[in-house]
Amino acid sequence: MTLRAKRIVIGIYEISTGIVEVVLGVALLLLSASGLEQIADRLMAEELGEDSRDMIIRFVQDHLPSVLHGKGVFTAILIAFGSVKVAGGIGFLRGKSWGYYLLLGLLVLLLPPNVYRLVTHPGIGFVSLLLIHLAVLQFLVHYRTSFTHHAEPYDHDRHGKPEQAEGTADDVSGT
């Protein structure tokens, strides 16, 4: 996979997860705590009827009260991080250095809480999320160093003349 294709995949991934976070944050903001609890109770009762040992339902039952108690803070965090991911993903897709640095900073900021969550609550979901997080972070570091170690970050146009590719060294290297 080319560097540009990877940039597109990472940008779309960050935009998608950011949109999901913003939508969840807005939904939490609009729904009352009691309304959310009633919806969750109905859904959980149905699922527990099918499988009384469902791990996801047990997780929701254990954590829903604390999420509803701190709903305002949790909502603000979801909307803020989701918005930053969307903005960073758009900037990164457009080859802007601010998008690159926004995503890099956000991923570095979120790495310690992800590791802590994995250590305190080990599980396949947290392992998967941490691996995705580390892969994106590794790609961003590799993406930046690919421009600082190569003399020609250019694509050639159809006439064989060098043409600077969108989002290459001038944009991402911070120059």
Q: pLDDT value at position 149?
A: 53
Residue 46: predicted pLDDT: 78
Structure tokens at 84: 């930053």
Which has the higher per-residue pLDDT, 36 or 129? 129
pLDDT band with cut points at 50, 70 and 90 for residue 147:
low
Number of domains in the chain: 1
Distance, in Å, from the CA atom of 55 to the CA atom of 121, rounded to the nearest integer, reads 13
C-alpha to C-alpha distance for 108 and 116, rounded to whole angstroms:
14
Dihedral, 145, 146, 152, 158 alpha carbons, nearest 10? -150
Give domain status of residue 134, yes or no.
yes
pLDDT in tens, 87-118: 999 999 998 888 999 999 999 998 888 888 88
Q: Which residues face 163 on adjacent strands?
A: 155
pLDDT band at 7 (very low <50, low <70, confident <90, very high): confident
164 is a domain residue = no
Axis-axis angle for helices 33-50, 55-69 (nearest 10): 170
Domain span including residue 33: 3-152
| Nearest to 92, CA basis, from 133, 128, 144 | 144
Give the whole-angstrom CA distance, residue 113 versus residue 106: 12
Q: Where are the beta strands (DSSP E) in 86-173?
A: 154-156, 162-164
Identify the pLDDT of residue 141: 87
CA dist 86 and 102 (Å) reads 10
More confident residue, 54 or 73: 73
Residue 167 lies in a domain: no
- Which percentage of the chain shows pLDDT scores above 90? 25
In a domain, 23, yes or no: yes
- Tell me, yes or no, whether 67 lies in a domain: yes
